Structure formats: C-alpha cells, structure tokens
Amino acid sequence: MAIARPGKIVCVGRNYQEHAAEFGDAVPKQPLLFLKPATALIGDGDAVVLPFESRRVDYEGEIGLVIGRRIRRASEAQALAAIAGVTCVNDVTARDLQRSEEQWTRAKGFDTFCPAGPRVAPLEPDRLGELEIRCRVNGVERQHGHAREMVFGFAALVAFISQAMTLEPGDLIATGTPAGVGPLKAGDVVEVEIPAVGVLRNPVVAESPGGTARP
C-alpha cells in the first residue's frame, strides 16, 4: 500500500521524554497536537526543499500511522482497530520559525515538509512496543527510538485525537520524534527507517528563485 494524499496530517509534539528534554521542555500532561497541511506531503525519493524564509530546517524521524476506518470519540480499543498500518514520516521543521512564532503552522507546513513512505506496513497489535525508528543523515545515525519509549502510545494518541476530530481513512498521524533532531543542509540525504516498513530516503535541496519544487 502506498501513501495516498491524506485528508489531514495530525502530529504529536514532545512524545518522547528525551526529545522534550533536549529542548528544555516538560513532557505534556496530555498529547500536544498540531496539523500539517496535506500539501506538505512528498514520497520516497522526492526532494525536501529548504525555504528562503528559514535558516535552520531540522529532520524529525517519526513513526506514522495511517487510519483505515472512520472514527469519532473512539475508545483505545476502537482506536487501535482503526489503524490500517505504519509508515515512516519525517516531520521536517523550520526550527527558527517554530521558535519565533507562537503557532507552528508555518514552521511545520512548508511544501515538502512531510516526507512519508515508502509503503504502509500492516500493524501487528501485539508487537507495537517493539517498533523501532531510526533517522540518518548522509548515512550517519542521528536518532534511534522505540515505540515503547513514547509518552503516549498509539491507542491512547489515536483515541485522544478522535475526541476532537473525526479521523477518516487515509489520515496520517505522526507520533512524535525521539531525541537527536538536528539541521539539514542542501546536498544532504535524510533517511527514516522502520524495519517493518523500509527506508524513506529524501535528498535535500535549496529553494530555487523560480518557485517551489511542487509541480
């Protein structure tokens, strides 16, 4: 199953204790949600474009969940049953804009700021905690986390989100990044890997004066 354009991309901030600590942030008492626009989505092999407006664009390797069933105000059991599968996500972030602006919409929402793929792997409900996420830049490992280290697990996250908004088939949920985030520069190749899914690999390019990379 490839990634179709989702109706919405729901992201979770500070969902790994060590990542919250690296920015001096407290772990939230309930999941901290924000949205990325569907236009930010790119696939495996597509270029992440560094926008003119930012001087610091970071990778954030994350475990992505793809919703398979429409749910609203779901229990944790219903939420788990509504997850169609798992994929790799890179929650690319203009860190300088995130720090200087109260809302994260612009910092997280530029075109190409949501690489996802290369495929959706079925979820194995009894082995969720074993899911592993790695992020590499130019072949050097920068992040390595396990789903069991998440502050809020998959079922709790999806159930929580569904209290606020209807989740629909194809919606993508990025479940937060482990410690080790850092900057990207033009010419880098960034990879996010989940063993059951494969490797999501994206080159990084500077924005060209002619316009954005989207056709």
Residue 54 in the binding site for Zn ion (CB under 5 A): no
Q: Which range in 27-35, 49-57, 177-185, 195-203 contacts Zn ion by CB under 5 A?
A: 177-185
Which of these segments, 84-92, 116-124, 141-149, 183-191, binds Zn ion (CB under 5 A)? 84-92
Exactly one of 20, 58, 59, 60 binds Zn ion (CB under 5 A); that residue is 60
How far apart are CB 58 and Zn ion at their closest, in Å?
9
Per-residue tokens: 31: 């999941």
Residue 120 Cβ, how far from Zn ion at the closest point, in Å? 19
- The pair of structure tokens assigned to 25 is 């942030």
User: Can residue 171 be called a binding residue for Zn ion (CB under 5 A)?
Assistant: no
Stretch that binds Zn ion, among 53-61, 71-79, 112-120, 134-142 (CB under 5 A): 53-61
Strands 48-50 and 198-206: parallel
Decide whether 33 or 84 has the Cβ nearer to Zn ion: 33
**Does residue 58 bind Zn ion (CB under 5 A)?**
no
Q: In whole angstroms, what is the distance from residue 22 CA to residue 182 CA?
A: 11
> How far is Cα 206 from Cα 84, in angstroms, rounded to an integer?
35
Choice between 62 and 207, CB closer to Zn ion: 62
Query: What stretches of the chain show up as alpha helix (H) in DSSP?
Result: 17-22, 76-81, 95-100, 105-109, 154-164
Binding footprint of Zn ion, residue count (CB under 5 A): 3
Task: State yes or no: residue 177 binds Zn ion (CB under 5 A).
Answer: yes
The residues, ordered by sequence, that sit 6+ positions from 61 with a Cβ below 8 Å of its Cβ are 88, 89, 90, 133, 134, 135, 142, 143, 145, 177, 178, 192, 193
* Distance separating alpha carbons of residues 54 and 174, to the nearest angstrom: 22
Q: Does 90 bind Zn ion (CB under 5 A)?
A: no
Which segment (55-63, 72-80, 94-102, 200-208) binds Zn ion by CB under 5 A? 55-63
Q: Does 44 bind Zn ion (CB under 5 A)?
A: no
Please name which of 49, 58, 50, 43 lies closest in space to residue 137, comparing C-alpha atoms. Answer: 58
* In contact, 3 and 65? CB cutoff 8 Å: no
Is residue 91 within the footprint of Zn ion (CB under 5 A)? yes
φ/ψ of 83, rounded to 5, equals -85, 120
Of 45-53, 82-90, 116-124, 169-177, which part binds Zn ion (CB under 5 A)? 169-177
Q: Which residues of this protein are in contact with Zn ion, per CB under 5 A? A: 60, 91, 177
